[in-house]
Amino acid sequence: MTTTIIGFPRLGEFRELKFATEKYFRNEINESELQATAKELRRKHWQLVKESGVDEVVSNDFSLYDNLLDTAFLFNIIPSNVETSPLSSLEKFFALARGHQSETIDIKALPMKKWFNTNYHYLVPKFEKITKVKINSSKIFDEYQEAKALDIETRPVLIGPFTLLSLADFEEGISAKDFVNDLTIAYQDIFKELKVLGAQWIQLDEPSLVTDLSVEQKALFLDIYHNLLNDKQDLKILLQTYFGDVRDIYQDLIQLSIDAIGLDFVEGPKNISLLQTGFPADKKLYAGIINGKNIWRNQYQKSLAILQQLPTQNVVLNTSCSLLHVPFSIENEEFPVEVKKHFSYATEKLNELVELSEIVAGKSEKLEKNQALFQQERFTKDPKVEEKIASLTPESYIRQPAFEKRELLQRKEFQLPLLPTTTIGSFPQTKEVKQTRARFKKKEIDQKTYDQFIAQQIDNWLQWQEEIDLDVLVHGEFERNDMVEYFGQNLAGYLFSKNGWVQSYGTRGVKPPIIWGDIYRTAPITVKWSKYAQKQTNKWVKGMLTGPVTILNWSFPREDISLKESTLQIALAIQEEVLDLEKNGIRIIQIDEAALREKLPLRKNDWYSEYLDWAIPAFRLVHSKVQPQTQIHTHMCYSEFTDIIPAIDQMDADVISFEASRSNLEILDELKANHFKTQVGPGVYDIHSPRIPSTEEIKTTIDAILAKVPQEKIWINPDCGLKTRGIKETKASLQNMTAAAKFARKELLIHDKK
């Protein structure tokens, strides 16, 4: 059985790409130095895959920022203000990714969204009426040739036309259909050129096929592929799907004149029964067997059982999705051998593919060794945790009194002005902040010195927040490296990797902690600094926690108990923390659920039954026991919850802040239509870009919000935490924000008097 992968992580074993790109952004290196680093990483990764024994290597899975942006760039889907700007090609590329601001140029970044059910974010391409689809970049050809020069034949990977069109935005008045013809021709041009260069195969990634497809979408897909396959230039086509099953389109897929179909058997078990209805003899099946999302060793016996059910011999062993979603290599971790042997990162997964194919070929020792690993008792169970979960009743999940009563009590209690201003929690994590934390961790400085440093940061920023007259302050989260790891460190049952970085977006990596056993809180986590901060000021300071669903979704979960059970364990631990904060005088507590939507099933039918029915109650469990006058906030990144608004309201928080500035406030109409009761802080500016919004611009946004949401329900805040931003832009932007809020407030008061 031959083996292959869908894609490999590109940040580099030690995040070399991140550091080089950031240096380029800071003008510390030039374009050719950045490209040299990128080229070196590609070489290393191709050779690693090849030398591990994997048969088919891929190219063009690499990106300097994001694959969908690459694809948009490749096909010249570039907004006209960027296209006509005097920037270089690479500068345009990065301008789309992160905005560009100079004396003469002011470009906003493209919106960013979560890539299906992962924590990877892609940039949303924008088609305009004047967009002229044509080939605009040679990246895919260059990388194919680059590998060839190393004597490695590759299968170039490209996001397919259906997924590209499904994920893109369109200027009003145009739609996907308008671009099918030009796009088909452009893809065919790519096929032609690749064929000339000597390529045999191309992989078209079409993950959008695993979502619910409407009649129109199916028609669009078929229209595109019938056109495309009319002239495929003798290039063999692998149509690759992942993250689920293709139930809506399977029967059509097998009739297309493509050469191979890639299916995911990890997240799409239903694919097996689809296959059993028949699979054509003239096609290869790329079988996604090795989990590309989790970091546990593969249980070969289970994988063999899947392989046995496949109705074809023409199988290529594959990962379930790109290895982009797992870290580089377990070799860079310091876990004890007993622990380490249970894990498999990207590099080890390559070996698993090879081993599994060897087992299929008859090498049974490898299977026995693998079986032994799964026969041992591994997980640390905790009877006390299990008991607590068992004693939960329906009342445990409901906060009393009901929302409307609490809202009145809280208005009296807090006496906040109309349109209260606040931030989402973190302030810039400067080099100094990160270095000091690292030095403390390495024991180069003692607790007292470290504490003094953090206290000083908090003091400075509290004072500044008072100066610009924000209404609800935050302590700034300087003591936190990451919103999940920081909590995990004080929760039993968690393991932390040293180098387990996974790309989240562009140059940003996250290091998801690993849930190893039953979870409980070992000590208070945030009380010390929240309490300290509240003592320094007469204004309200928000306590800042991460919610259970996000902690789970941003961790590598266990595979031996359900996600629901792990989440409830975390919820009980965070509940203790909330009650501790309250006891220590913190009256406003924000429980972030930045990643709530992440594990929402891709199929609508499964939303509630498989996810929301336990995820939302898990959140409520965390705050169900607080006093009526304690105000609970939550925060979600991205406003992509238009379709689950009732569920969000059922979280029963008092206030929710969310990203809205990049998505044009579309959500507000839906909130209104759904009689959303929770107070809202739709982000009034985009924090993912260093661009500074003017007071007028923010005021315009506030007016747009006021047009749709009752004024007494509105909070004014940025999109998200400010930890990735510089101090200068943060201060300027927030100053403009408070100024804009004051203008808006004044206008409202004048208006009210009339």
Binding residues: 15-18, 114, 424-426, 477, 554, 592, 598, 635, 637, 659, 720
Which of 566, 557, 556, 485 minimizes the C-alpha distance to 518? 566
User: Which C-beta is closer to ligand GLN: that of 432 or that of 446?
Assistant: 432
Residue number with CB closer to ligand GLN (483 or 552): 483
Regarding 289 and contact with ligand GLN (CB under 6 A), the answer is: no
424 binds ligand GLN (CB under 6 A): yes
Among Zn ion, ligand GLN, none, partner that 426 touches (CB below 5 to 8 angstroms by kind): ligand GLN
Known binding site for L-methionine: residues?
424-426, 477, 592
**Which C-beta is closer to ligand GLN: that of 56 or that of 719?**
719
Distances (CA, A) of 625 to 89, 148, 363, 464, 486: 56, 63, 57, 34, 24
Helix (H, G, I), strand (E, B) or coil at 309: helix
**Which residues 584-603 are close enough to bind ligand GLN by CB under 6 A?**
592, 594
Q: Which does 723 bind (CB under 5 to 8 A by kind): Zn ion, ligand GLN, none?
A: ligand GLN
688: annotated active-site residue:
yes
Which of the listed partners (ligand GLN, Zn ion, none) does 662 bind, with a CB threshold of 5 to 8 Å by partner kind? none
The residue of the chain with the least Cβ separation from ligand GLN equals 721
Q: Contact at 8 Å (CB) between 578 and 626? A: yes
Question: Whole-number minimum distance, CB 574 to ligand GLN, in Å?
Answer: 14
Q: Which of 547, 549, 534 is nearest to 487 (CA)?
A: 547
623-642 positions binding Zn ion, by CB under 5 A: 637
The contact pattern for ligand GLN, residues 620-649, with x = CB under 6 A and - = no contact, is: ---------------x-x------------
φ/ψ region of 173 (left if φ > 0, alpha if ψ in -120 to 50, else beta) reads left
Q: Does 656 bind Zn ion (CB under 5 A)?
A: no
Smallest separation, CB 456 to ligand GLN (Å): 20
Single-letter residue type at 728: K
User: Which one of residues 544, 578, 600, 618 is an interface residue with ligand GLN (CB under 6 A)?
Assistant: 544
Q: Is 570 in the site for Zn ion (CB under 5 A)?
A: no
**Residues comprising the binding site for 5-methyltetrahydropteroyltri-L-glutamate?**
15-18, 114, 554, 598
State in angstroms the smallest separation of the CB of 723 from ligand GLN.
Answer: 5
Q: How far does CA 405 lie from the centroid of its chain?
A: 36
Nearest-approach distance from CB 632 to Zn ion, in angstroms? 17
Q: By rule CB under 5 A, what count of residues binds Zn ion?
A: 3
Please check whether residue 170 is in contact with residue 127, taking contact to mean a CB–CB distance below 8 angstroms: yes
Token pair for residue 169?
């935005």
484 interacts with Zn ion by CB under 5 A: no
Single out the residue of 7, 160, 425, 617 in contact with ligand GLN (rule: CB under 6 A). 425
CB atoms within 10 A of CB 308: 8
Query: Which uninterrupted H or E stretch holds 133?
Result: none
Q: Name the residue nearer to ligand GLN (CB basis): 367 or 648.
A: 648
C-alpha distance from residue 501 to each of 268, 364, 433 (Å): 26, 34, 20
Distance CA 316, CA 350 (A): 14
Q: One of 45, 475, 688, 751 is an active-site residue; which one? A: 688
Binding Zn ion (rule: CB under 5 A), the pick from 157, 346, 573, 594 is: 594
- Would you count residue 618 as binding Zn ion (CB under 5 A)? no
Decide which of ligand GLN, Zn ion, none touches 110; Cβ closer than 5 to 8 Å per partner kind.
none
Cis peptide before 401 (omega within 30 of 0): yes
Cα gap 124→72, rounded to integer Å = 9
For 650, the token pair is: 């059922």
Query: What does 736 interact with, of ligand GLN, Zn ion, none (CB < 5 to 8 A by kind)?
Result: none
709 binds, among ligand GLN, Zn ion, none (CB under 5 to 8 A by kind): none
**Please, which residue, 346 or 581, has the CB nearer to ligand GLN?**
581
The CA-to-CA distance between both ends of the chain, in Å, stands at 79
Q: Is 606 helix (H, G, I), strand (E, B) or coil?
A: helix
| Number of amino acids touching ligand GLN (CB under 6 A) | 13
Q: Name beta bridge partners: 238.
A: 203, 260
DSSP, residue by residue, 541-573: EEEEEE-HHHHHHTSB--SSS-HHHHHHHHHHH
Q: How far is the CB of 422 from ligand GLN (least distance, A)?
A: 11
Binding to ligand GLN (CB under 6 A): which residues in 692-731? 720-721, 723
Beta pairing partners, 545: 591
> Looking up tokens 């440093």, which residue turns up?
453
Q: What is the DSSP track for 679-717?
A: EEEE-SS-TTS-PPPPHHHHHHHHHHHHTTS-GGGB-B-
Nearer to ligand GLN, 47 or 430 (CB): 430
Helix runs in 99-247, H state only: 139-149, 161-167, 180-197, 215-229
Query: What is the contact surface with ligand GLN in residues (CB under 6 A)?
Result: 424-426, 477, 483, 544, 592, 594, 635, 637, 720-721, 723
Interface residue list for Zn ion (CB under 5 A): 594, 637, 720
User: Active-site positions?
Assistant: 688
